[in-house]
């Protein structure tokens, strides 16, 4: 491996170490209780290395947000691509039930990371932009799906898509707050029934 490739590889590895460390610390301690020295130390790198790649912890938070947004976008796109091919309420229900559970499992790990995001966005324009861009991208997928499923309707597809996104996002967060597993299961089933009715007329 040439010297240039070694440098590139080391840069990739260092960036990943810093991202992994920042995510771990943001989840464990929260954004405001974490500083750049701690991130660098946890990554096993010097503070100088940190500033070689990121301006501050706000920038690294943005990078993590963008990665999460990209993963969420791809997962939702895959979901709706598969939903287009399904027929009947049972297929929709089973698939949405499985997908919602996957989202909730993932949300358990990411909940702490996002707890400070609204406050951070008020202070950091890039965070605000990233959050807004991610939200609009996800809404656009839902809107496209609705247009494909109901091409002859006169609905305001964007508003309906936005409602679905907001309701799903808020309810998913609330489900995580329910301690009883039995009640949580009931909550999930009722929610799926409502989404099927509202979104797909099933």
Check residue 194 and give its pLDDT. 82
Q: Concatenated DSSP letters for the chain?
A: --HHHHHHHHHHHHHHHHHHHHHHHHHHH-STT--HHHHHHHHT--HHHHHHH-SSHHHHHHHHHHHHHHHHHHHHHHHHHHHHH--SHHHHHHHHHHHHHHHHHHHHHHHHHHTTHHHHHHH-HHHHHHHHHHHHHHHHHHHHHHHHH-TT----HHHHHHHHHHHHHHHHHHHTT---HHHHHHHHHHHHHHHHHHHH--
CATH of the domain at 18: 1.10.10.60
Average pLDDT over residues 42-64: 94
Judge if 83 and 168 occupy the same domain: yes
pLDDT score at 3: 62
Residue-wise pLDDT for 4-38, tens only, equals: 777 678 888 999 999 999 999 998 998 999 999 99
Q: Are residues 16 and 114 in the same domain?
A: no
Domain count of the fold of the chain: 2
Write down the pTM of the prediction: 0.78
Domain of residue 86, CATH code = 1.10.357.10
pLDDT at position 2, please?
Answer: 66
* pLDDT average, residue stretch 164-190: 85
Tell me what pLDDT residue 115 has. Answer: 78
Based on the fold, state whether residues 16 and 98 are members of the same structural domain: no
Domain that holds residue 186: 57-200
- pLDDT for 86 beyond 80: no
The pLDDT value recorded for residue 20 is 95
Q: Evaluate if residue 72 carries a pLDDT over 90.
A: no
Task: Report the pLDDT averaged over residues 68-74.
Answer: 85
pLDDT in tens, 112-167: 788 788 889 999 899 999 989 989 998 998 888 888 877 888 778 999 889 888 88
Indicate whether 86 and 16 sit together in one domain: no
pLDDT digits (tens, 9 = 90+) for 90-99: 776 777 777 7
Q: What is the pLDDT at residue 68?
A: 86
Same domain, 140 and 163: yes
CB of 157 closer than 8 Å to CB of 176: no
- Res 199 pLDDT > 70: no
């Amino acid at each position: 491996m040439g010297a240039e490739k070694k440098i590139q590889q080391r840069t990739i590895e260092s960036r990943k170490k810093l991202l992994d460390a920042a995510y771990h610390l943001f989840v464990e301690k929260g954004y405001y209780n974490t500083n750049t020295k701690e991130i660098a130390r946890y990554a096993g790198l010097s503070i100088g290395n940190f500033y070689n790649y990121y301006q501050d912890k706000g920038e690294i938070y943005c990078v993590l947000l963008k990665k999460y947004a990209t993963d969420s976008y791809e997962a939702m796109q895959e979901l709706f691509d598969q939903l287009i091919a399904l027929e009947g309420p049972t297929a929709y229900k089973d698939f949405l039930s499985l997908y919602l559970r996957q989202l909730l499992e993932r949300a358990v790990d990411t909940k702490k990371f996002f707890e400070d995001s609204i406050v951070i966005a008020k202070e950091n324009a890039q965070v605000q932009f990233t959050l807004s861009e991610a939200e609009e991208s996800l809404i656009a997928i839902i809107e496209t799906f609705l247009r494909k499923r109901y091409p002859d309707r006169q609905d305001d597809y964007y508003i309906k898509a936005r409602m679905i996104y907001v309701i799903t996002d808020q309810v998913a967060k609330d489900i995580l707050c329910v301690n009883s597993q039995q009640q949580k299961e009931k909550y999930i089933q009722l929610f799926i029934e409502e989404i099927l009715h509202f979104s797909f007329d099933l």
